[in-house]
Amino acid sequence: MNNHQENDFYSKFWDKPRHALAQIFELIGKIWHGYEIVGMEHLPKGPAIVVFHHPVILVGYALFFTKLFKETGRLCHSVIDHALYGIPGLNMFWDVIFLRDFKKAECVEILKKGHLLGIAPGGAREANFSNDCTLMWGNRTGFARLALEAKVPIIPIFTQNSCEAYRTFGKTRLTKWLYEKTRRVILPIYGGFPVKLRTFIGEPIPYDPNISATELAEKTKTALENLQNRHQKWPGNILRALSERFDKQYKAN
C-alpha cells in the first residue's frame, strides 16, 4: 500500500475493507434484528442531508448506511462528535467509513461532490437524556443552514425500536448538570436486545431559498416526529419490540 492510497479513503483500495465490514454489519442486522428498510425510493440520486434521532447506540443508523452501501455502492458520510474522533486507535476506522468531526466547509464540499451526509442534531445530549426518542435539538439550526447553503434537500429517517435495543440509566438532575458543564458525561448503557429494527425513510424536504434556517429546522423536526408517531408505539416497550420480530402481518402503512 503506498502513502497515497493510505491517505485517500476514496481510493478503491479501501473498497474491500468496506465491503468486508458491510458484510459483517449486514449479517448482524439480519440475524439479530431482522433489519429492514422502508422507503429507499425517497433517497435522491444526488446529495442530501440525512437527519435522524440519536439513540444511545446508533445501531439503526449503522445498519441503514451499511445496507445503502451494499445495495447502491453509495457512501454516506456522517458527522460525529470530535471526542469520538479523538479515541486512540479508532481514527482510521472512522475514516474508512467516513465518520468524522467534519467542519462546515468540509460538509459543504461533501455535498457539492454529490454525497449523502448524515447528521443527528441532538447529539450526545439526546443520546444520554432523551426519553422515548424525544428530539432534543434546542435551538440547533446548523444542519438547516448547511442545507440552505449547499442547496440540497433534507431526508428525515427513523429506526423503529432504536430506543429499545439499548438504553441508559442514571438520568438525574446531577448527571444532566454535569453533562451541560463538561459535555463529557456518558451514562451507563445496557441492552443489546434483539428487537425488530426497521428504518423508515421519509419524503425529502426540498431546498427552498425562501425560508429561514429556523423555519427549515422546525419543518424537519415536525417531519421526523411524524415518522416516529406513525411507526413507533408509545411508550417504548422492550418485550413488544422483541415480539415484533415475529409479526408477519406488519405493513409499512
pLDDT digits (tens, 9 = 90+) for 35-80: 999 999 999 999 999 999 999 999 999 999 999 999 998 989 999 8
Helix or strand or coil: residue 190?
A: strand
Angle ∠(51,53,55) on CA atoms, nearest 5: 140
Give the per-residue pLDDT at 250. Answer: 53
Give the per-residue pLDDT at 3. Answer: 43
Give the per-residue pLDDT at 55. Answer: 95
Place of cell 446548523: 142
Annotated catalytic sites, by residue?
54
Listed as ranges, residues in the chain with pLDDT below 70 are 1-7, 86, 248-253
Contact in structure between 18 and 69 (CB atoms under 8 Å): yes
pTM: 0.91
Sequence-distant contacts of 246-253: CB under 8 A, at least 24 apart: 247/196, 252/38, 252/39, 252/200
Mutual angle of helices 142-150 and 104-112, in 10-degree steps: 40
Break the chain into its structural domains and give their ranges.
34-246
Level-2 CATH architecture, domain 34-246: 3-Layer(aba) Sandwich (3.40)
Give the CA distances from residue 240 to residues 58, 78, 168, in Å, rounded to whole numbers and listed in that order.
Answer: 20, 31, 19
* 48-52, strands of its sheet edge to edge: 36-38, 198-201, 154-160, 48-52, 116-119, 76-79, 99-100
> What DSSP string describes 195-223?
---EEEEPPPB---TTS-HHHHHHHHHHH
**What phi and psi, each to the nearest 5 degrees, are found at residue 191?**
135, -130
